[in-house]
Amino acid sequence: MTPLDELCQIPFHEADAPARALILSRLADSALFAALVAEPVADAAELRMFDLPEGRFALACDNEERLAGFIGGPVAYVGLPGRVLAQALASEGQGLLVNPGHASQLMLDAPMLAWLVEALEARPSMASESAARRLGAPLPEVAAALAGPLAQRLADMRGVVESLALVLAEWPDGRLSHLLMPQGVAAEHQPAVAKALAELLAFLPELPGGVDIGFAAGAPPAGALILAPPPPEPAPEPVRRDPKAPPRLR
């Protein structure tokens, strides 16, 4: 099971809009292996295209074995982030077929790829907690909508973000919005973290009042929803030799 498979418990084209958006978000961050006509020459590579009733599609899988299995043998390929491949195909008005025959099979036509590229261009709405009149517990429906997607995004930020607080902010003009407050982020990583969170929000349904992003050094306010990246995976146990095994001869 790949990360895309795990998100596609319900097939992509049968899932509701929020689930499809999360799948596309994960696709953008996945390494994809796209079939080529021939081995690349220098920096030039020509994608292998398939003419289908729905249009002209490139083929890519999230591991090399799946790609070779679908083609039926060795195949020239190029490894690209999903976002890069989507942008290249959308600009040419072409589609993308991903993981055919697997749980995460996706047939994304050119308009769908164009929507994906537009979502990936989202810019963060930044705000300072010090400018808020009051900070408090997030609305339950907003916490429920964001908890899962934020936890998944934090798994990609292990070692960069210590924790993430979600609060409801009341601003001096009376406006209410939610504020995402990443904690423990080094200054040089803050722009990338803010952009990653903005992209995530762009894939979700619009939330009441919107969601701003603000970095804070202090402790989050009472009532905040606190999320943290999962702990690092344990190192594999070293292989121990059976003491009763015969000696190895050189």
- Answer yes or no: do 19 and 114 share one domain: yes
CB of 12 closer than 8 Å to CB of 106: yes
Total domains in the chain come to 2
Residues β-bridged to residue 107? 97
Mean pLDDT of successive 10-residue segments in the chain (250 residues)? 89 86 90 92 85 92 93 91 94 94 93 92 86 90 90 88 93 91 93 92 87 86 89 62 56
The answer to whether residue 249 sits within a structural domain is: no
- Answer yes or no: do 12 and 115 share one domain: yes
- Answer yes or no: do 175 and 73 share one domain: no
pLDDT in tens, 113-168: 999 999 999 888 888 878 888 999 999 999 999 998 898 889 888 899 999 999 99
Task: Decide which of 120, 142, 162 is a domain's last residue.
Answer: 120
- Answer yes or no: do 64 and 159 share one domain: no
The answer to whether residue 53 sits within a structural domain is: yes
pTM across the whole model? 0.74
The answer to whether residue 214 sits within a structural domain is: yes
- Answer yes or no: do 158 and 78 share one domain: no
- Answer yes or no: do 142 and 106 share one domain: no
- Answer yes or no: do 7 and 67 share one domain: yes
| Residue 77: CA count within 13 A, CB half-sphere | 24
The answer to whether residue 102 sits within a structural domain is: yes
- Answer yes or no: do 114 and 7 share one domain: yes
The CATH number covering residue 184 comes to 3.30.300
Domain encompassing residue 66: 3-120
Maximum distance among all alpha carbons in the chain? Answer: 80
The CATH number covering residue 74 comes to 3.40.1350.90
